[in-house]
Amino acid sequence: MRIIPAIDLMDGKCVRLTQGNYEQKKVYNANPLEVAKIFEDNGLEYLHLVDLEGAKAQRVVHYKILEQICNQTKLKVDFSGGIKTEEDLKIVMESGAYQACIGSIAAKNPELFLEWLQRYSAEKIVLSADVKHEKVMIHGWTEKTDWSIYEFLQQFLNYSLKYVICTDIVKDGTLTGPSYELYLQILRKLPSIHLIASGGVHHEKDIEGLKNLGCEGVIVGKAIYEGKISIRSLLKYA
């Protein structure tokens, strides 16, 4: 299973939000590179790096931090937030990202998303599906679309889409457990998807449960920072 710790960036610092609310942020470390090195030193291989300000501004903001982490660690970084143009995507890839996570563009301009998917490959382009009550949300979780999560994902399956990160916004940052039923329905309807779950992970049994559902991976954020799950304990699932 792909175990992916998360670093969310705001004001250049490592923060966490609750249910995507930018007014409810908590700063955990002023140095994201330091946090990334801790993950690497403890044996983790992946990192989910989220540019919260980029998502809101609709352009990549924190590419320098991405570059730092990629240059000074061996972590495989998937970068999310603010990738809206060809130039944004180029910056992210040239800064060293292992994968680029695309959400809003996939919802607003599916043709451009498919162009990127085919040009960069399904190994490099991840579909980021942020969901609230089964509806896809975009622009840093601030705008609701008419897409149901199932319709949204289905449209890309014939175009070699492989990886999907699905975040249940209602669960994110709450430490109340993942959205098992949502992920179960996605995997039942769309069994070819490599699904990475995000939001609500509280303790190890949540990871075990997601693994048993058939999730490809899981993103863990607040549970690490709040000491609910130790970094070392994650290694047995990786």
pLDDT tens by residue, 107-157: 999 999 999 999 999 999 999 999 999 999 987 777 889 999 999 999 998
Q: Count other Cβ atoms within 10 Å, centred on residue 235.
A: 13
Strands 2-10 and 13-18: antiparallel
Query: Would you give the distance in Å from CA 77 to the centre of its chain?
Result: 10
Q: Where are the domains of the chain?
A: 2-237
pLDDT at residue 145, as a whole number: 92
167 close to 199: Cβ distance less than 8 angstroms: yes
From residue 65, how far is each of 28, 36, 68, 197, 221 by CA, in Å?
16, 11, 5, 24, 18
Residue-level pLDDT at 238: 83
pLDDT tens per residue, range 181-198? 999 999 999 999 999 999
Find where tokens 């492989």 sit: 162
pLDDT classification of 64: cutoffs 50, 70, 90: very high
C-alpha–C-alpha distance, residues 96 and 103, integer Å: 20
Lowest mean pLDDT among 73-77, 93-97, 156-160, 229-233: 156-160
**Predicted pLDDT at 218:** 98
Residue 115: what residue type? E
pLDDT of 128 reads 95
For CA atoms 144, 27, 83, 75, give the dihedral sign.
negative
Q: Which residue has the tokens 């590179």?
A: 33
Q: What is the pLDDT of residue 160?
A: 86
Q: Looking at the domain 2-237, which fold is it?
A: TIM Barrel (3.20.20)
20, pLDDT greater than 90: no
Give me the active site residues, please.
8, 130
